[in-house]
Amino acid sequence: MNLGLDAKTAVVTGASRGIGLATVRTLADEGVRVVGAARTVTPELKETGAHAVAADLSTAEGVAALMDAAFAELGGVDLLVNNVGGGDDLLPGGFLDVDDAAWGSILDVNLMSAVRVTRAALPSLIERGGAIVNVSSMNARVPGAGPVAYSAAKAALTALGKSLAEEFGPRGVRVNTVSPGVVRTAVWEDPDGFGAKTAAAVGVEHADLLRGLPAAAGITTGRITEPGEVAALIAFLLSDVAGNIVGSEYLIDGGSVKTS
């Protein structure tokens, strides 16, 4: 299927690895000129040919630096993927284990980064009839499946997408949300990541936890999602092929969420 994205411009946040990196690669393959933002620019991001920007998007200053660079490089923004999110610094535990500072940090990176980037990009998106995809999580629907602050932040991000779609859809900007389940990323696979910390907390080997994830998460297909599969869905929703899809949320979780 020809998505007709060639000659478009895009900003992708959280672009250094995982879903963000896969999205940059997918859009670049479609002929999109991409600015990819990450706290740390990886060699893999540089190799995509995207214009890479190092910025901490949990801060207003980082968002401003990204958008200044994006407008200078691209001239304007047609497509926005708000993918940056917490994960590396998440810790297993319950509500009483999360203090105000941790709540603020998690909300800044998972919600406020999208608020600030979207606010800065909207004038260009309105002018160009653009599209936004916010990357949320199945935790927004199943909050007991993960750390409480992360789940709450992702639920807020999903709600934000609905509000933006309602307000700016009539002005030509389509906004949709993609909510992945367990994805093969560093969050689960890195030896210092959330998956490894969870394994240590419950007293199992990291490799054993990874092998058991599909069953533990109730994944109908019996396997976790690949980043490229999420990226393909994002690219479809950004394209005019999905031109009348607005304000929708798409789960890509292998069937983990059993309710409609």
Q: Residue 196 has what pLDDT?
A: 85
pLDDT, one tens digit per residue, over 120-170 is 999 999 999 999 999 999 999 998 877 899 999 999 999 999 999 999 999
- 75-107 tens-digit pLDDT: 999 999 999 987 556 777 889 989 999 999 999
Give the Cα separation of 145 and 143 in Å (integer): 5
| pLDDT interval class at 204 (50, 70, 90) | confident
- Distance, in Å, from the CA atom of 193 to the CA atom of 132, rounded to the nearest integer, reads 28
Cα–Cα separations (whole angstroms), residue 10 to 2, 19, 73, 97, 111: 18, 15, 11, 38, 20
Quote the pLDDT of residue 2.
Answer: 86
Q: Is 150 a catalytic residue?
A: yes
Helix pair angle (18-29, 227-238), 10° resolution: 50
Phi, psi at residue 34, to the nearest 5°? -120, 135
Which of 71-75, 85-89, 197-201 is modeled with the greatest confidence? 71-75
Over range 198-215, report the average pLDDT: 88
CA nearest to 213, candidates 199, 227, 193: 199
| Residue ranges of domains in the chain, CATH in brackets | 9-183+225-252 (3.40.50.720), 185-224 (no CATH)
Please enumerate in sequence order all residues whose Cβ is within 8 A of that of 139, keeping only pairs 6 or more positions apart, or say none. 145, 146, 150, 151, 154, 155
The residue type of 68 is D
For residue 101, give every residue at least 6 positions away whose Cβ sits within 8 Å of its Cβ, in sequence order, or none. Answer: none
pLDDT for res 87: 57
The alpha carbon torsion through 235, 148, 185, 209 (nearest 10 deg) reads -140
Which one of the listed residues 11, 32, 81, 150 is annotated catalytic? 150
Tell me what the mean pLDDT of segment 54-63 comes to: 96
Give the bridge partners for 31, in sequence order: none
The one-letter code for the residue type at 178 is V
